[in-house]
Amino acid sequence: MKNRRNSRREFIKQSSIAGVGVVLAIGAAPSVFAGSNRVASVPAILGGSELAKINWPVWPMWNPETDDKRVLDSVRSGVWSRKDIVNEFEQKWAETCGVKNCLTVVNGTNALITSLIQLGIGAGDEVIIPPYTYIATPQAVLATGAIPVFVDTDLSTFQIDASKIESKITPRTRAIMPVHLGGLSADMNRIMELAKKHNLIVVEDACQAHLAEYNHRKLGTIGHAGAFSFQNSKNLPIGEGGAIVSNDENFMERCFSYHNLGFPGRPAPGSTGSDAVKNANKLRITEYQAAIGLVQMARLESQTKTRTENAEYLKSNLKKIPGIFPMEVYPEVTRGVYHLFALRYKKEEFKGLAREGFINALNAEGIPCYEGYTQLNKMPFLKDAFQTKNFIKIYSKKRLNYTKYLEQNQCPQNDILCNEEAVWFNQRLLLTGKTEMDFIFAAIEKIYTNAEKIKNATNK
* Chain residues in the site for ligand PLP (CB under 6 A): 107-109, 133-134, 136-137, 179, 205, 207-208, 229, 231, 242
Contact 310, 337 (CB under 8 A): no
At closest approach, how far in Å is the CB of 375 from ligand PLP?
16
At closest approach, how far in Å is the CB of 135 from ligand PLP?
8
Of the candidates 347, 341, 314, 344, the residue with the CA atom closest to the CA atom of residue 454: 347
Contact 130, 99 (CB under 8 A): no
Q: Which is nearer to ligand PLP, 104 or 231 (CB)?
A: 231
Q: Which is nearer to ligand PLP, 231 or 260 (CB)?
A: 231
Q: Which is nearer to ligand PLP, 207 or 295 (CB)?
A: 207
Beta bridge partners of 333: 214
At closest approach, how far in Å is the CB of 298 from ligand PLP?
21
Cα separations (Å) of 236 from 56, 71, 112, 211? 18, 16, 17, 10
Peptide bond preceding 60 in cis form (omega within 30 of 0): yes
Beta bridge partners of 160: 153
Q: Which is nearer to ligand PLP, 22 or 300 (CB)?
A: 300
At closest approach, how far in Å is the CB of 399 from ligand PLP?
25
Helix (H, G, I), strand (E, B) or coil at 191: helix
Of the candidates 432, 412, 416, the residue with the CA atom closest to the CA atom of residue 372: 416
Q: Which is nearer to ligand PLP, 285 or 361 (CB)?
A: 285
What is the number of the residue whose Cβ is closest to ligand PLP? 108
Beta bridge partners of 231: 239
At closest approach, how far in Å is the CB of 212 from ligand PLP?
12
E strand or H helix that includes residue 86: helix 84-97
At closest approach, how far in Å is the CB of 291 from ligand PLP?
18
Dist. CA 438–CA 431, nearest whole Å: 14
At closest approach, how far in Å is the CB of 242 from ligand PLP?
5
Dist. CA 444–CA 362, nearest whole Å: 7
**233 CB neighbour count, 10 Å cutoff:** 14
Q: Which is nearer to ligand PLP, 231 or 449 (CB)?
A: 231
Q: Which is nearer to ligand PLP, 108 or 226 (CB)?
A: 108
